[in-house]
Structures are given as structure tokens and as C-alpha cells.
């Protein structure tokens, strides 16, 4: 593995992850800053509380793409620069970390659900699809975005191991990345967990 290329790829992934599209899209579409209403979280679910579904969908897609793009690049082109599975894990974690602590927005970011999903699709499309389906199933039956995210965070490393040798080879560094992302997602949802336990959590589509 070439240290210089690894460093460049990791920093680039972090900078891409630092683009808070909930804030950017809201500004471009003339909406209120998502950090000023609802859960005050700069993410697609909170943008949806503005009542603008197009802005929420665009935020969701862009937040996902910024997690997918750097990981997919390493998967496709990394071998030419001596970058392997460990680089995939580090770049994915950097993009996710950038969303949580964006350098362009005073290190105050979102909870990282869409970006984490993008990283998973970058690792393998089937893994991303499986975790996405788990999110959709929980969301459909409970209408709680936070609960869906928590279940998906726990499911991701399990599904990754289940696909070992069938759909992909489970690399230890990628597994560690999935566990760390899951732990950070759960930590970022700690207030949501408290609200869920107290029956105070807002459901998907509720306006701020």
C-alpha cells in the first residue's frame, strides 16, 4: 500500500463527506436552514419536515453519493495505486466521519445514515441493498426513521459476514469499519433512543 496515495484518498474522502447537502440544498432552494427546526439535524429526514419532498430526496441522494463515490473509486481504481481492502475501509470511514464532523460547517454535521448507506453500496451493491431493505422494512412498520437507522446499523456487519464467500470476501478491515460506523450511528442517535423509550420520537413525515 502506498502511504501517499492512501493519505490523499482519505483526505479527499473526508472533504467530500464534509459537504453538508442538507444545508446546501436548503439554501439553494430557498428553504430554512435545517439546523433551525425539527430535530435540528442537517439530514434528509429533517429536511422532509420542511414540507419540501424534492429537497429531502435530493439531500438523501447527494449524501448517499458522497459516501459511495470515494469507496467506489478505490474499488475500481485503487489497485493501480496500491490501494486494497484496508484503503476501502479507511476511505469509507473518512467520508462518513466527514459527514458527522464537517470541516466546512464548524464540525457540526448530521447523523450519517444516508452517507453510511452510500459507503455500503460502495463496498458491494448487494450489501447496500440488503441493509437498505432492512431500513425500509422497519420504517414501513414503525414510521420511525431513527429506529430504522439503529436496526440497520446493527444489521450491516451481520449481513456482511453472511455474504462472506458467497457474494464477497469479508475483509477484516472492512468489518471493523462497519462496526465503527454502526457504533457512531448509535451514538449520534442517543437522543432519539431516549425519545423512543419515552414515546416522544417524531415519525417520518412529521413537520417541525
3-state secondary structure of 175: helix
In this prediction, residue 206 carries a pLDDT of 61
Angle made by CA atoms 62, 126, 163, in degrees to the nearest 5: 135
Largest CA distance in the chain: 52
- pLDDT of residue 205 exceeding 70: no
Q: Distance (Å, rounded) from C-alpha 159 to C-alpha 68?
A: 18
Q: Which residues contact 187 (CB under 8 A, 6 or more apart)?
A: none
| Cα–Cα distance for residue pair 207/128, rounded to 1 Å | 29
Backbone dihedral region for residue 112 (phi beyond 0: left; psi -120 to 50: alpha; all else: beta): left
Residue 208 has pLDDT above 70, yes or no: no
pLDDT of residue 207: 57
Query: Scanning the structure block, which residue is given the C-alpha cell 462497519?
Result: 178
- In angstroms, rounded to a whole number, what is the distance separating the alpha carbons of residues 201 and 208? 12
The pLDDT tens digits of the residues spanning 70-112 come to 999 999 999 999 999 999 999 999 999 999 999 999 999 999 9
pLDDT score recorded for residue 45: 84
* pLDDT tens per residue, range 22-54: 999 999 998 898 998 887 889 888 898 888 899
Instruction: Using a pLDDT cut of 70, give the percent of the chain over it.
Output: 98
Q: Determine what percent of the chain is predicted with pLDDT higher than 90.
A: 77
Amino acid at each position: 500500500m502506498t502511504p501517499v496515495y492512501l493519505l490523499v484518498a482519505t483526505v479527499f474522502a473526508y472533504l467530500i463527506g464534509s459537504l453538508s447537502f442538507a444545508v446546501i440544498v436548503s439554501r439553494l432552494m430557498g428553504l430554512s436552514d435545517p439546523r433551525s427546526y425539527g430535530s435540528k439535524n442537517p439530514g434528509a429526514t429533517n429536511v422532509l419536515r420542511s414540507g419540501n419532498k424534492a429537497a429531502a430526496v435530493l439531500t438523501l441522494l447527494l449524501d448517499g453519493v458522497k459516501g459511495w463515490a470515494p469507496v467506489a473509486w478505490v474499488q475500481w481504481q485503487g489497485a493501480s495505486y496500491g490501494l486494497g481492502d484496508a484503503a476501502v475501509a479507511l476511505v469509507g470511514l473518512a467520508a462518513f466521519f466527514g459527514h458527522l464532523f464537517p470541516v466546512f460547517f464548524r464540525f457540526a454535521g448530521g447523523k450519517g445514515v444516508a452517507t453510511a448507506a452510500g459507503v455500503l453500496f460502495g463496498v458491494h451493491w448487494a450489501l447496500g441493498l440488503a441493509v437498505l431493505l432492512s431500513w425500509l422494512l422497519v420504517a414501513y412498520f414503525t414510521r420511525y426513521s431513527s429506529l430504522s437507522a439503529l436496526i440497520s446499523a446493527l444489521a450491516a456487519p451481520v449481513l456482511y459476514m453472511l455474504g462472506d464467500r458467497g457474494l464477497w470476501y469479508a475483509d477484516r478491515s472492512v468489518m471493523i469499519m462497519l462496526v465503527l460506523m454502526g457504533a457512531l450511528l448509535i451514538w449520534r442517535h442517543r437522543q432519539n433512543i431516549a425519545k423512543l423509550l419515552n414515546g416522544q420520537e417524531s415519525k417520518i413525515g412529521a413537520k417541525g
